[in-house]
Structures are given as structure tokens and as C-alpha cells.
Chain A
Amino acid sequence: MAEAAIPAAVPTGSSSAARLLRAVARQRELSLVVVMVALGAFVFTQAPQLLSASNLTQVTAHASIIAVAAVGEAIVILTRNVDLSIEAMIGLVAFAVADILATKTVGAPVAILLGVALGLVLGLINGVLVAVLRVPAIIATLGTLSAYRGFTLLLAGGKQITLTQLPAGYTDWARGTVVFLPLFVLIALVVVTVAAIVLRQTTIGRQVYALGSNPEAAEILGIRTRLITISTFAVCGLLAGVAGVMWGMEFGTINATAATGVTLQVIAAVVVGGVNINGGSGTVVGAGIGALFLAFIQNALILLKLSQFWLQAIYGLVILIAVVIDGALLRAVQRSRARGRRP
């Protein structure tokens, strides 16, 4: 659509403006940080408690959970797929881990490992549906969203696991720190860093981008597209498992509807972070920053004493604004490149 719409007479902007545009497009994550700092400065003048230790801990804890899930989602979206079932995977893992812990048969480390493994299995199921059975990702994961949530409801049978049923001190980890960093932030940083390095430096990482940019070309080049697709969904499930475990620690009391609506937050984080929804471009660092940005917006609403009812609408607006800006940037860059090539 974009390429056909390029008008013949492009307004001749200065080359420095074009360079700036390209720089903004390339440093999409950086521009988000700039916007966040600017908004943060404004909020700080209105509500200085923004930067208080307790507020920062609270904001970053939730942002870290979303960031871990967003990294998984970003990897799937990079391959031109989407995983709508992520909230159901988070919810199922969060409940299953709490359920296992409540039986007091195994210790916390085993329960956590089982939870992450469960996430991996759920992700593998999505991957097999998409890559082997050739179900379009949007349908496959819309289906598993419903199925996984139904399974959670079945498992729970109306009951909830309360804080008192969990091992003593289990939920303290959500507030724990390693040296100076909160544990959750550390987990998110490790996940983002590892994913970023793998995507950037390894063959399979580059193949993820190749697949998303041009699936047909990727196939012709001999990239094992099925294997990559299954792997990306499996990683997404694994990270949803990690996020599910974190969710359980954060909230303590868990019922079968845990994490309902989180898919929207996760995809919003990915899109706001500059990952192209049509695959092939964007970074997991961006997705992580996107998660932080959304958590910051939510926190700012509370601090500025604006109605929480606005939150959902603002999420929607943020997604729309981000995709409109990205679309405009993309077209501008294409235009300036096309002009550059002209003799």
C-alpha cells in the first residue's frame, strides 16, 4: 500500500532533515526514552513521589513482568506471527505453580521449574499448530487463548489459592533485591539482554529477522522456517512461564482469571517499543522499554489522580499513536531513500 502511494512530486526537504528522520527511525527506542523522560519530568513537578523508592519498586515490578512477556511476544511478532494466547499462558502457569505449592509436596524451586516447563509446553503447542498444522497464528492462538483459559478454570474449579497457602516468604521474592537492583528488574534485564544478543549475534537470531522480512525468500535461502517458527513460539511460551511465575509471586493470591487482558498490554508494549507488527524489524530492547513506558503511564495516571477508567482508553490511544507514527516514519524513510537513489 505504502509503495504505491508515493507521490511523484516529493517535497524536497533538506538532507539534514532526512538524516534526522532516518536517525529517529533507526533509534526508535531512544525516542521513546526521550518522550518518557519528558513526560516524567512533567509528572515529577506535579507529583514528586514519582521518584520515591517505594513507587519506583512498585512500577518496575509490574513493568518487569510485562517486559519478560513482551520479549517473548516480540520474538514471535518479528517472524510475522502473533501470539494472542500469552495472557492465558501466564494465567495458567501462575495458577498451576500456586496450586503445586499449596499441596506442599514440592519445594519452591521445583514448582517454579515446573511452571516454566509448562509455559514451554504451551508455547510448543502453539508453534506446532502454526508451523506444522499450518493454522494461521492469529487463529491458532485465539483458539489456545480460549482453551488454555478454559483449562485453568477447570483446574481451579472456582477455588483460589491464597497467600496463606503458599510457603512462608515465597512472595517476598517479588520485593527482593540483588545488590541494589530489585530481583524482578534483574530478571527482566537478563531476559532482554540474552534475547537481544541471541537475535543480533547468532545465526538463528538473524534467521528470525530474515523470516519476518520475507518468508518466501527465507525459505528459498534454505532457512528452516518451520523450526524457527516453532522455536519462537516455544521461547514465547517459556517467557510467558517466567512471567507467570513472577505474576504469582507479585500477587500471592491467585485465581483462574489471573492476567486477564494482559495480552493487550504485552502487544501494546511491543508495538509502542517499535517492533513492526508485520515482522522483520524492531528490537527486544524496544519491547522492554515499551513495557516500562506503559507501566509509567499507568503510574502517572494514579499519581496525577486521574481516573483509572481512562487507563484502558489511553492504552488504546498509545497503540494507535505508535502505529501511526511508525507508519509515517517508515513511509518517510522509504521516500527519502527513493529520492536518494534517483540520479
Chain B
Amino acid sequence: MSRARRFLGWEALLAVVLIALIAIGITVSPVFLSGRNFTNLTAAVIEVSIMALPMALIIIAGEIDLSVESMAGLSCAVVGVLWQAGVPIQVAIPIVLVIGAGGGLLNGVLVTSFGLPSLVVTLGTLALFRGLALVVLGSQGVAGFPDWFTSFGFGTVPGTPIPWPLLIFAALAIALGTVLHTMWPGRRLFAIGKNASAARYSGVGVARTKLVLFAFNGVIAALAGVILTARFASSRADIGQGLTLTVITIVLLGGVNIFGGRGTIPGVVLAAATLAVLGNVLRLTNVSAEIQSIAVGVLLIVSVVIPNLAHQVSARMGRGPEAGRGSAATAGAGGTAIP
């Protein structure tokens, strides 16, 4: 019960920050509320936001996946190569989604069957998938995609300022939110993230669940790669570099615990919106991209420091039910095991 209240607290805080940012946006720029600005604002973060949703599940289950940006890049490169070879986009998309599932399964098998830490495994596949993207596409770029495909990337639903990919994000958020918070697979995830061995002894298929999670994460990363290709109307092997940082920032800013066991999808959605508006306000006020990079980094750290401090304060006041739950205690529970 107290946990539910704490989460509501975090989400309420995010909502307040979001509203404040929107208020600032309205004051500093007359175009902030325009439909066109809304389109720009969402388009800038749509791929990372989509990738953040399954990443939240992975982190709740006590693992991490650093390879998503490279899988998006590989997917982008393969779409380009296939299109160049005369394969229609409608056929290329299912192919790259299968590649995404395959790459995710590779991560999952190495983590579950070989018992390796997901941090290193996905650091390895971060390099591997990017390398494969470079191998298939080289340093060339592919352009000249069909109009319907590129308009899916930067076009909007007719009559509204809503970009098409935002619909994918909304559908995915609702589906994953429902599964995570109201159905048994969601309860399983929290159980695994809190205590994997206890979950295993209670008959939860920990390995199988994690395998499915990694495969699903790969599929969504590949999908994000397709969206990136459509939005940039071009395919290059280096697309998506550095996105993992933003994806993980959104997840953690959304209140998901890095050691697993805690987090909500509404929190992640709010975090994505906050980051989108923050970036937009900074851009509208002509703050340089460098400051934005610093801001994202600081935000990531602050999003952990504040709950930590709040936790310590409440523990000192003797009310925290999990008082004394230091980094050492959580280290063993999380599969990442990097306190």
C-alpha cells in the first residue's frame, strides 16, 4: 500500500514538472501550443519513447539491454539494403522484425542459459549489432523510399497534429500497461525483479519469461529502427547511435528501479512526455544541443538521487518499511548486479 502511494508520489511529481514545463513553454514561445510544434515535439522523441516501454519491463525484471540502439541501427540498415535490392518495404518490415526477435533471443539465451550478466552480454551485442549494420550497408546511405513509407515517418494523421508513430506508442503503452499492472504476467515480472530465486522456487519460469522479454525488446527496437528510417527518409548504418542512454533515462526518470521489482508504465509515459517537452522548450529558447546533452545526463542522475535521498530521510524517521535496504542488499537480487 505504501509502495503504491510512493509511486503515485513520484508520478504526481513528474506530472507537476511536466505542467510547469508546459507553462514555461507557453510563456517563452507563442508557437509552443501550435499543432506544428506538437508534431515536432513528439517526433523528436518518438523512437526512444517506444523503446523505453519494453525496456521498462526488462529493467523491472532485473535485467538491462544496452543493445537496443544498435538493433535499431541494424534494422534501419537492413531495410535500406533490402529496398535497394528491390524488396518491397511491406516485405522488408516483417523481415527486420524477425531479425529483431532473433537478436533479442541471442541476448536472452546468453543471459538465461549461460547465466551471464545482461550488462556485458548486451554491451557485446551493442557492438555486434552495430558491426553487422556496418557490414551489410557499409558507409553508403540508401534513400528514395516510397512516399507512403516516408509520410508514415514524418506525416500526421489527417486533420490532426498527431504523428503516425505516436499511435504505435499509445497502443503499446496501453497494452503493456494493462499486462503489467492488471494481469498475471505483470505480477510475475515484479516477482522476478524483486527476488528471482524466490520466484523460481514458486514455480515462475524465470528464464522463459526473460527470454520472451529480450526477444520482445529486440522486436520493438527493430520497429523503432523502421520508424527512424521512415522519419529520416534514409538508411545509414550509424543511425540510432547513443539512443540507449535516452531510452534508459526515460525508464529511470519514470520511477523504474534500476535493480528491478518496481516501476510503472504510466510513470514511463510521463517521463517520456517530460523529456519531450523539456527538449522542445530548450530548443524554442535556443539553448544549444550541448546544454541539452548535459541536461539529460544530470536529469538521469537527479532522478535517482531524489528518491534515494527521500528514502534515506524516511528511513531515518523510522517509517521506511525497507529501511536499511542499501545498495549492497539490492545488488545480489538484480541480475545486473552493478550497485
Name the B residues within 8 Å of A219 (CB-CB).
Answer: 328
Query: How many of chain A's residues have a CB under 8 angstroms from any CB in B?
Result: 54
- Per-position contact with B for A206-235: 1 when CB-CB < 8 Å, else 0? 000000000110010000000000000000
Name the B residues within 8 Å of A268 (CB-CB).
Answer: 127
Q: CB distance A140 to B301 under 8 Å?
A: yes
- Closest chain B residue to A318, Cβ basis: B124
Given A150-B293, A309-B138, A324 and B116 touching (CB < 8 A)?
yes
A336 and B134 CA atoms in complex are apart in Å by 43
A137 and B339 CA atoms in complex are apart in Å by 6
Given A137-B338, A216-B328, A147 and B128 touching (CB < 8 A)?
no
Interface residues in B239-271 (C-beta closer than 8 Å to A)? 245, 248-249, 252, 258-259
- Per-position contact with B for A262-280: 1 when CB-CB < 8 Å, else 0? 0010011001000001100
Main secondary structure on B side of the interface with A: helix
Q: CB distance A316 to B126 under 8 Å?
A: yes
A149 and B138 CA atoms in complex are apart in Å by 27
A310 and B120 CA atoms in complex are apart in Å by 20
Q: CB distance A316 to B129 under 8 Å?
A: yes
B300 nearest CB across to chain A (Å): 4
Name the B residues within 8 Å of A82 (CB-CB).
Answer: 119, 338
Q: Is A197 an interface residue (CB 8 A)?
A: no
- Per-position contact with B for A313-330: 1 when CB-CB < 8 Å, else 0? 111110110011001100
Given A135-B305, A150-B290, A80 and B128 touching (CB < 8 A)?
no
Name the B residues within 8 Å of A324 (CB-CB).
Answer: 110, 114, 116
Q: CB distance B288 to A154 under 8 Å?
A: yes
Given A2-B115, A138-B119, A150-B297, A307 and B135 touching (CB < 8 A)?
yes
Q: CB distance B197 to A320 under 8 Å?
A: no
- Closest chain A residue to B301, Cβ basis: A143
- Closest chain A residue to B304, Cβ basis: A135
Q: Is A187 an interface residue (CB 8 A)?
A: no
Q: Is A103 an interface residue (CB 8 A)?
A: no
A90 nearest CB across to chain B (Å): 17
A14 nearest CB across to chain B (Å): 25
Q: Is A134 an interface residue (CB 8 A)?
A: yes
Name the A residues within 8 Å of B129 (CB-CB).
Answer: 316
- Closest chain A residue to B299, Cβ basis: A143
Known: A154-B291, A277-B119, A309-B135. 9 other contacts (CB 8 A): A80-B337, A140-B301, A146-B293, A146-B297, A148-B297, A215-B328, A271-B120, A319-B123, A327-B114
